[in-house]
């Protein structure tokens, strides 16, 4: 296994190029910690990179592959280029501004982590599934803290999840006892990259620690205590776990605000879309039309009303997000031309 393969590289590559590649393992403000599988070094993007990047998505995130110029003596590097991504998990950044936030790049499997000692929320799981499909990764639903929950509740939760997560694997694990981790690893073979996503406190970091073994976490000292004296993850970081896979830990998300996802609606709501297609009229509004398969399915309990409403709500939300993003792009374009014409006026005046 070459050093880059240790970091998840899979393509054939020339020797000269090989020495110029590295993977982002964590992002700290404007500096990046990279690894080429042999060593870690800090890096910043080059001036030219900064100049040509046009938005947040153009900047490296954890999991990205970058072309670097290494300055070995200082364990530093300059990032010159970003390689195309195989997947990118994006959400609308927290706050008012219309802005994309890249959570992780080049992830094969997204583990959607839900704690069995927290509330169960189908709607939240649907949002994560949608965003995962949209990212280009494959979702796996993980119920954590299995040790804290009765067998009956576990069965109940799993059967409710099966109704809304069609075709998505569902597993249950305990970071505390290690139960179920072999199942988790079966979705994350050597060389693949996974990411743990979910709300705060669901046990993501505990899973990583158990997978890594205690000493590694302690020597790294990457956790910071929050006000309640708990360990809480403050940044995203990629770890190489003993089976040779890579796993990204992320800070808990309060809510997953969608950025895009239209293309993933069909995969996420296969059941609903299949019913829609069976309606007599192609443009059925599922209201009062005769031969409406959706309405029939809701009447006889095949399709839950909540699920159908969630489908409609997500559609509206995505349309709204899209309008906001289009408006923003239009404003930016206008401002660019304004600036250009200002500059030109200045030039003429100077003559
Ligand atoms: N009973 C039980 N408790 C667990 C388990 N895993 C984690 N916990 C507890 O749940 C709390 C949160 O665990 P973390 O691993 O820090 O959760 P996290 O998802 O990384 O949280 P953030 O870093 O805030 O996103 C801690 O008090 C853990 O001790 C488990 O498998 N069983
Ligand atoms: Zn209909």
For the Cβ of 252 lying below 6 angstroms from any atom of ligand 1, the answer is yes
Q: CB-based burial of residue 245 (10 Å sphere; 0-12 exposed, 13-18 middle, 19+ buried)?
A: buried
For the Cβ of 181 lying below 6 angstroms from any atom of ligand 1, the answer is no
pLDDT at 285 over 70: yes
For the Cβ of 115 lying below 6 angstroms from any atom of ligand 1, the answer is no
Q: CB-based burial of residue 191 (10 Å sphere; 0-12 exposed, 13-18 middle, 19+ buried)?
A: middle
More confident residue, 200 or 229: 200
Q: How far is the CA of 299 from the centre of ligand 2 (A)?
A: 12
37 is in an annotated binding site: no
Give the pLDDT of residue 217: 46
Are both 266 and 323 inside the same structural domain? yes
Domain stop point among 40, 64, 82: 82
CA distances from 76 to 21, 22, 80, 87, 270 (A): 13, 12, 13, 27, 48
CA 120 from centroid of its chain's CA atoms: 20
Give the pLDDT of residue 59: 96
Are both 71 and 173 inside the same structural domain? no
Residue 257 domain flag = no
Are both 52 and 74 inside the same structural domain? yes
Give the pLDDT of residue 123: 95
Mean pLDDT of the chain: 90
Pairing status of strand 246-249 against strand 237-240? antiparallel
Strand-pairing partners, residue 66, are 22, 82
Residue 348 domain flag = no
Closest ligand 1 atom to 231 CA: 16
Pairing status of strand 76-82 against strand 224-225? unpaired
Sign of CA dihedral 183, 37, 195, 150: positive
pLDDT one-digit tens code per residue, 126-183: 999 999 999 999 999 999 999 999 999 999 999 999 999 999 999 999 999 999 999 9
Closest ligand 1 atom to 230 CA: 27
Question: pLDDT tier at 222 (50, 70, 90 boundaries)?
Answer: very low
Tokens representing 99 are 């802005």
User: Residue written as tokens 């639903």?
Assistant: 141
- Outline where the chain has alpha helix (H): 3-6, 15-18, 47-52, 122-135, 151-164, 181-186, 204-212, 214-220, 265-268, 270-277, 293-299, 305-350
More confident residue, 18 or 296: 296
For the Cβ of 295 lying below 6 angstroms from any atom of ligand 1, the answer is no
213 is in an annotated binding site: no
For the Cβ of 145 lying below 6 angstroms from any atom of ligand 1, the answer is yes
> Is 195 in contact with 247 (CB distance < 8 Å)?
yes
Q: How far is the CA of 190 from the centre of ligand 2 (A)?
A: 46
CATH assignment at residue 109:
3.40.50.300
pLDDT at 221 over 60: no
Are both 47 and 139 inside the same structural domain? no
d(CA 143, CA 113): 6
82: phi then psi, degrees, rounded to nearest 5: -110, 130
What does DSSP assign to residue 342? Answer: H
Are both 240 and 217 inside the same structural domain? yes
pLDDT at 245 over 90: yes
pLDDT one-digit tens code per residue, 319-342: 999 999 999 999 988 888 888 888
3-state secondary structure of 196: strand
Mean pLDDT for the stretch of residues 213-220: 52
Pairing status of strand 170-172 against strand 100-105? unpaired
Residues contacting residue 242 through CB under 8 Å, at least 6 positions apart: 211, 212, 213
* pLDDT > 70: percent of the chain: 93
Are both 191 and 282 inside the same structural domain? no
pTM of the model: 0.91
Residues contacting residue 28 through CB under 8 Å, at least 6 positions apart: 235
Domain stop point among 50, 82, 114: 82
For the Cβ of 310 lying below 6 angstroms from any atom of ligand 1, the answer is no
Among 96, 98, 101, residue whose Cα is nearest residue 331: 98
Pairing status of strand 31-35 against strand 40-45? antiparallel
Residue 15 domain flag = yes
Tokens representing 254 are 């309060």
> Is 129 in contact with 160 (CB distance < 8 Å)?
no
Are both 161 and 189 inside the same structural domain? yes
Give the pLDDT of residue 229: 46
pLDDT at 28 over 50: yes
Domain count, the chain: 3
Q: Tell me which of 52-66, 222-236, 274-288 is least confident.
A: 222-236
Are both 73 and 181 inside the same structural domain? no
Domain stop point among 82, 97, 112: 82
Other beta carbons less than 10 A from residue 313's beta carbon: 12
Give the pLDDT of residue 219: 39
More confident residue, 74 or 42: 42
Dihedral class, residue 240 (left if φ above 0, else alpha if ψ from -120 to 50, else beta): beta
Ligand number nearest CA of 308 is 2
Residue 287 domain flag = yes
334 is in an annotated binding site: no
Question: pLDDT tier at 34 (50, 70, 90 boundaries)?
Answer: very high
Are both 328 and 269 inside the same structural domain? yes
Q: Domain residues for 124? A: 88-249
Give the pLDDT of residue 180: 96
Tokens representing 303 are 């399709």
Are both 73 and 102 inside the same structural domain? no
């Amino acid at each position: 296994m070459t050093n880059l393969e240790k970091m998840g590289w899979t393509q054939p590559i020339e020797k000269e190029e090989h020495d110029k590649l590295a993977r982002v393992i964590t992002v700290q403000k404007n500096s990046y910690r990279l690894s080429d599988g042999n060593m870690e070094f800090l890096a910043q993007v080059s001036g030219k990179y900064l100049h040509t990047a046009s938005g947040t998505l153009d900047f490296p995130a954890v999991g990205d592959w970058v072309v670097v110029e290494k300055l070995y003596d200082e364990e530093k590097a300059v990032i010159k280029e970003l390689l195309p991504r195989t997947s990118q998990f994006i959400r609308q950044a927290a706050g008012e501004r219309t802005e994309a936030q890249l959570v992780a790049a080049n992830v094969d499997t997204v583990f959607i982590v839900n704690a069995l000692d927290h509330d169960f929320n189908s709607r939240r799981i649907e949002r994560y599934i949608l965003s995962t499909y949209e990212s280009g990764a494959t979702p796996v639903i993980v119920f954590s803290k299995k040790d804290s929950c009765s067998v009956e509740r576990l069965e109940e939760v799993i059967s409710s999840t099966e109704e809304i997560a069609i075709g998505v694997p569902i597993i249950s694990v305990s970071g505390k006892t290690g139960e179920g981790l072999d199942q988790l690893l079966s979705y994350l073979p050597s060389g693949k990259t996974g990411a743990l996503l979910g709300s705060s406190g669901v046990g993501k970091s505990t899973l990583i620690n158990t997978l890594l073994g205690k000493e590694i976490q302690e020597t790294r000292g990457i956790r910071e205590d929050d006000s309640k004296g708990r360990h809480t993850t403050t940044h995203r970081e990629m770890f190489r776990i003993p089976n040779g896979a890579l796993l990204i830990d992320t800070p808990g998300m309060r809510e997953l605000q969608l950025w895009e996802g239209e293309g993933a609606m069909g995969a996420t709501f296969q059941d609903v879309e299949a019913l829609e297609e069976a309606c007599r009229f192609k443009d059925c509004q599922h209201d009062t039309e005769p031969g409406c398969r959706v309405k029939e399915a809701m009447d006889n309990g095949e399709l839950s009303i909540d699920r159908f409403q969630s489908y409609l709500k997500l559609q509206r939300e995505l349309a709204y997000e899209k309008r906001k993003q289009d408006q923003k792009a239009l404003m930016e374009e206008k401002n660019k031309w304004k600036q250009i014409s200002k500059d030109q006026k200045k030039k003429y005046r100077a003559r």
